[in-house]
Structure 1
């Protein structure tokens, strides 16, 4: 039930209508209940027993089980046909050209066959379809001896160049997969590794040099690799130039909408990188570009990227002194059903932060109350970095609400569970920060003394404001606001724009 329901939830309103029409055309009997089952699954979260009761007046039925299996297969067939019509029309057209050309080659009609193959080659080359290009070159070379007009040596060179491009794409795919697995170990299992060293080893092992023409997919994977490195090391400033130059390469390509999904991914990476580097206005410009791209192809990818786009847009607005607008757009999407659980959790935590910075601790607590799963569950779903941010944020909330028991209990638990991990990854300053927070809670009057101020200034090893992580600055701003007895939100904005 979960599989079929999760697929149905990803369909757009237009897809719902098309799928019902598809079922109507497919149904040979009038009493078939597949459309009724589809509508029940689309409009409710009822379990199998309830739905079975509605359809067959019993809670369990072999007929219901069979109906559900047939509906699942119909959705798969519909999705596959839709993709053939929408996304892979060029691929299918080229394959048809190749098949037609082979028919003419077998009939010794070489002139027509090679004209068709030339057309297929131009299309495949334009869309960087390396696998299909290899089939075209293979066919051309196979029959070259029968067609004197062919420059065989030139054809062989073209095939070898294409094979190198295809090999590069394959190698990048492998490196990307390995790095994603490595990131999962870091983010979701708390494993400590030297990520930059591992990245260098992987690129060298697979002999990857980024110096040739790439497909949009490959370019996206390269940027993802850079983004993963920045995520782990918190050094987003180190990848910005590379990311922007890479996108310039992308925009020079023709027919970029042919790999629209990867283009949207790239623009999202750029917008997020610029946000992390505190370039809010520029980041928002790329958010607008992302929205424009999401409107293409009848909004085929709009639902897939709505949460990510909203998250980065809201964060930019919040740090651009437009907090109310940030809260408004965050709350407009964060409670909607979506498969991207990690983005939903990020939106909830961001909204928590917005309310906390505004001093609305009751609203912040209402969001915090929804985090009722264990840390281990959240670690598996959103990563250890998210869990640590949540814990530290909640500890500050307990201080503001003067919830003594919760604060000291959770502080003790946090130190026991995460102290070694934070020390191993070189983030001792989180533990230092919590010592100052505890000191403030126990002796709030002491924070205004020169002694406390001096200790605070020398306790942290700071890099420049441009290089420091924006969320680290946001946490520090809370202490700073207590020392100076000023508004937290304005203190945060002042630290980011001195």
Structure 2
């Protein structure tokens, strides 16, 4: 499998048009080999490396061809990264943007302004439980605590609490991987177990059962993940009883 070709074919028709404009963003040139390689990989059946090399370098210069591939691959990475950022209207995207602005301001020796942006980022990340980015925020604040006029001890305490929550989130993600694998076994007849039992075993294995079953946000994340997994395995009949049980458990906890 050619990863570059697969990446190109993942683009929609509109994204392909946008990429052609993007690749010429700095200077429009005729006979761009990187763009020509893009078109060949997009429109034609998969060619062998030697056939592709011959299209661009009659002397079979493999090194030059690999350099060309790297250039096209980098353009694609830059394009996709920019597209993801532009389309990310989630709390994660907003917090990431605030952190980026804060880093920039610190590099320009504007700590007082950076402090305000980091404060906004921290509040938004806490409200939306974006623990991965909270970790980045606290690390940045600790690193520049003197310039930001913040207490290192208080920041370390916050960081420690956030890190525990992030580890819990990571364990939940691992549990989801186990649940998904077990559901696939159920689908293919290698396992006869209900969704509730599968979920509890996965949570118990990763030592997060108590936390997961008592926190609405964690339960919501698990239900959403499990729904996606059930859709992919087409085990729709298992979802309703699982959701009902999850919400009844939350009501009892409350």
* TM-score of the superposed pair, with normalisation by structure 2: 0.66
8 Å Cα contact 1:176-1:225 kept in structure 2: yes
Structure 1 residue matching 2:208: 3-state secondary structure: coil
Q: Which residue of 1 aligns with 2:135?
A: 134
- Unaligned segments of structure 2, at least 5 residues: 249-254
Q: Which residue number corresponds to residue 241 of structure 2?
A: 238
The answer on 1:203 being equivalent to 2:206 is no
Aligned length: 236
Residues 31 and 127 (structure 1), Cα distance of their counterparts in 2 relative to 1, 3 Å cut: same
Q: CA separation of 1:26/1:64 partners in 2, compared to 1, >3 Å: closer, same or farther?
A: farther
Deviations 1:279-327 (A, max 9, x none): xxxxxxxxxxxxxxxxxxxxxxxxxxxxxxxxxxxxxxxxxxxxxxxxx
For the 8 Å contact 2:101–2:117, the answer to whether it is kept is: yes
How is 1:63-462 mapped onto 2 (pairs within 5 angstroms)? Answer: 64=65, 66-87=67-88, 89-99=93-103, 102=106, 112=113, 114-138=115-139, 140=141, 143=145, 147=149, 159=159, 161-187=161-187, 190-192=189-191, 194=193, 196-205=196-205, 206-208=207-209, 209-212=212-215, 214=217, 219-225=220-226, 228=229, 234-241=237-244
Equivalent in the alignment of 2:10: 10
* In structure 2, distance between residues paired with 1:78 and 1:113: 28
Cα gap change, 1:51 to 1:89, in 2 (>3 Å): farther
Q: 1:214 to 1:13 in 2, by over 3 A?
A: same
Distance 1:19 1:84 in 2: 15
8 A contact 1:134–1:162 mirrored in 2: yes
* TM-score normalised by L of structure 1: 0.38
Aligned CA distance change for structure 1 residues 182 and 61 (closer, same or farther; 3 Å)? farther
Q: Distance in 1 between matches of 2:96 and 2:104?
A: 12
Give the Å deviation of 1:11.
Answer: 0.8
167-176 or 120-129, larger mean C-alpha shift? 120-129
Give, in whole Å, the separation in 1 of the partners of 2:37 and 2:114.
49
- Structure 1, unmatched stretches of 5+, are 246-498
Cα distance, 1:212–1:6 mapped onto 2, change above 3 Å = same
Note if contact 1:40-1:51 (Cα within 8 Å) is conserved in structure 2. Answer: no
Q: CA RMSD in A?
A: 4.4
Match of 2:251 in 1: none
